[in-house]
């Protein structure tokens, strides 16, 4: 259940004995299409989820800052004025990292007491980490009395994740969490962080976007991520372009190394698919028409980029066979979630078919929910 401002305020009051100065939130996200394109200067098309991290905060009553999460047993203490990369391993690094990034940017950083709660599934590829960072970021800006616009806030949050936590991720998650809007996709050009909000009117067309959290055990995801990055860099090198964003399909097809060619082909065709989807939706097309691009994206990440596993292939295929207009794995790969674009009337059939396919194989049941493009980070009360 999405934590309400009232519930998180109550949590703050019972811990600290007084009201918080305010409550802020930031959402998780799902990527509609554009996979592994972000570190190739390419295009991504995420939207903000209704699932969110909510944080109640007030100036600290002690000399340092404290943070408590409903999802973690222990309160963590740190100094906003002095905390540095390496000081805080574990979940609180995503929080303290924002204080550090603010300080590095020259913004005031008050010592705060923070109490947070989140319904973004952790580690499912729905960006619980960016939700946490951005929620803390908007709280920190308000209580520090500074205005930080949405894109610069996303950049600070990425900095916290890359340079404080030490996770070498692109900037899509934070941009989606900051810029999300109801019925809109966040079309992001990762070369220059330019965004365009693209219409995605699902309910008006009798459509549902299902997210199927496969709960597949993540296997080797970290090492494989690094290998894909270096394969892409090798391809760009061989082609003599700054990034695969600049390569043509014709040039890619002429690459002699089979693996490098397939990796590059995924990136080049995926960028085209993102632009095709945006052109359709921006032109007011029925969203059903993006289905083939979703299917083609899945085939490309399965066959050329090779980042799927049986759990996600089965979910994508069974959803399609049960009536989805398109389906694909979303996120970094080797597990995580599958999305499916489904007529409202077909939702029970698609959900049931995937559940049955998993049960037949003796796999842990997937968790399925409806994803509605939702608001980006803001103050709640």
| Among 71, 79, 370, 372, interactor with ligand ADP by CB under 6 A | 71
HSE-CB at 372 with a 13 A cutoff on CA atoms is 8
Q: Compose the 3-22 pattern: x for residues touching ligand ADP by CB under 6 A, - for all others.
A: --------------------
| Among 125, 137, 287, 376, interactor with ligand ADP by CB under 6 A | 125
φ, ψ (nearest 5 deg) of residue 376 = -80, 180
Tell me: does residue 330 bind ligand ADP (CB under 6 A): no
Structure tokens at 234: 């090798």
Q: Is 231 noted as a catalytic residue in this protein?
A: no
Q: Compose the 92-111 pattern: x for residues touching ligand ADP by CB under 6 A, - for all others.
A: --x-----------------
Q: How far is the CB of 97 from Mg ion (least distance, A)?
A: 12
Q: Around Cβ 203, how many Cβ atoms within 10 Å?
A: 10
Tell me: does residue 122 bind ligand ADP (CB under 6 A): yes
Q: Compose the 128-157 pattern: x for residues touching ligand ADP by CB under 6 A, - for all others.
A: xx--x-------------------------
Q: How far is the CB of 250 from Mg ion (least distance, A)?
A: 35
* Euclidean distance between CA atoms 27 and 25, whole angstroms: 7
Nearer to Mg ion, 129 or 214 (CB): 129
* Euclidean distance between CA atoms 153 and 134, whole angstroms: 7
Residue numbers 24-63 binding ligand ADP by CB under 6 A: 53
Nearer to ligand ADP, 53 or 260 (CB): 53
Annotated active-site residue in 113, 173, 231, 346:
173
Scored b (16 or more CB within 10 A) or e, 325-356 reads: bbbbbbbbbbbbbbbbbbbeebbeebbebbbe
Nearer to ligand ADP, 175 or 268 (CB): 175
Nearer to ligand ADP, 160 or 247 (CB): 160
Which partner from the list Mg ion, ligand ADP, none does 277 bind, CB cut-off 5 to 8 Å by kind?
Answer: none
Q: What is the DSSP letter of 364?
A: P
Pick the stretch among 126-134, 187-195, 226-234, 285-293 that binds ligand ADP (CB under 6 A).
126-134
Tell me: does residue 214 bind ligand ADP (CB under 6 A): no
CB 28 within 8 A of CB 52: yes
| Among 40, 65, 118, 129, interactor with Mg ion by CB under 5 A | 129
Pick the stretch among 106-114, 124-132, 281-289, 368-376 that binds ligand ADP (CB under 6 A).
124-132
**Angle in degrees, 0-180, between the axes of helices 258-282 and 291-303, rounded to the nearest 10:** 170
Q: What is the 3-state secondary structure (H, E, C) of 3-60?
A: CCHHHHHHHHHHHHCCCCCEEEEEEEEEECCCCCCHHHCCEECEEEEEEEEEEEEEEC
CB-count burial class (<10 Å; 0-12, 13-18, 19+) for 187:
buried
**CA 136, 137, 139: angle at the middle one, nearest 5?**
65
* Euclidean distance between CA atoms 375 and 278, whole angstroms: 20
Interaction site with ligand ADP (CB under 6 A): 53, 69, 71-72, 91, 94, 118, 122-129, 132
Give me the active site residues, please: 173
Interaction site with Mg ion (CB under 5 A): 127, 129
């Amino acid at each position: 259940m999405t934590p309400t401002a009232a519930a998180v305020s109550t949590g703050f009051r019972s811990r600290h004995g007084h009201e918080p100065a305010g409550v802020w939130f930031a959402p998780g996200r799902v990527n509609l299409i554009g996979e592994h394109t972000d570190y190739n200067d390419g295009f991504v098309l995420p939207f903000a989820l209704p699932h969110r991290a909510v944080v109640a905060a007030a100036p600290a009553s002690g000399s340092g800052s404290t943070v408590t999460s409903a999802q973690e047993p222990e309160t963590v203490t740190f100094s906003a004025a002095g905390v540095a990369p390496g000081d805080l391993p574990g979940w609180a690094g995503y929080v303290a990292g924002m204080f550090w990034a603010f300080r590095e940017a020259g913004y005031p950083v008050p010592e705060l007491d923070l109490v947070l709660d989140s319904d973004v599934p952790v580690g499912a590829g729905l960006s619980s980490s960016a939700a946490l960072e951005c929620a803390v970021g908007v709280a920190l800006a308000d209580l520090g009395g500074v205005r930080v616009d949405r894109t610069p806030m996303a950049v600070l949050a990425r900095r916290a994740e890359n340079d404080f936590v030490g996770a070498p991720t692109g900037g899509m998650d934070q941009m989606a969490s900051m810029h999300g809007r109801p019925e809109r996709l966040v079309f992001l050009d990762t070369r220059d962080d330019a965004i365009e909000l693209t219409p995605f009117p699902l309910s008006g067309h009798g459509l549902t976007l299902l997210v199927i959290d496969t709960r597949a055990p993540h296997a080797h995801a970290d090492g494989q991520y690094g290998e894909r990055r270096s394969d892409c860099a090798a391809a760009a090198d061989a082609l003599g372009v700054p990034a695969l964003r600049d390569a043509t399909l014709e040039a890619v097809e002429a690459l002699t190394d089979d693996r490098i060619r397939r990796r590059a082909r995924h990136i080049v065709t995926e960028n085209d698919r993102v632009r095709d989807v945006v052109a359709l939706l921006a032109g007011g097309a029925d969203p059903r028409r993006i289905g083939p691009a979703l299917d083609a994206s899945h085939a490309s990440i399965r066959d050329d980029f090779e980042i799927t596993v049986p759990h996600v292939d089965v979910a994508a295929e069974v959803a399609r066979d049960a009536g989805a207009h398109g389906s694909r794995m979303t996120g970094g790969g080797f597990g995580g979630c599958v999305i499916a674009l489904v007529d409202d009337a077909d939702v029970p059939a698609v959900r049931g078919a995937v559940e049955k396919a998993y049960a037949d194989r003796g796999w842990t049941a997937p968790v399925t929910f409806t994803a509605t493009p939702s608001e980006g980070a803001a103050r709640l009360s």
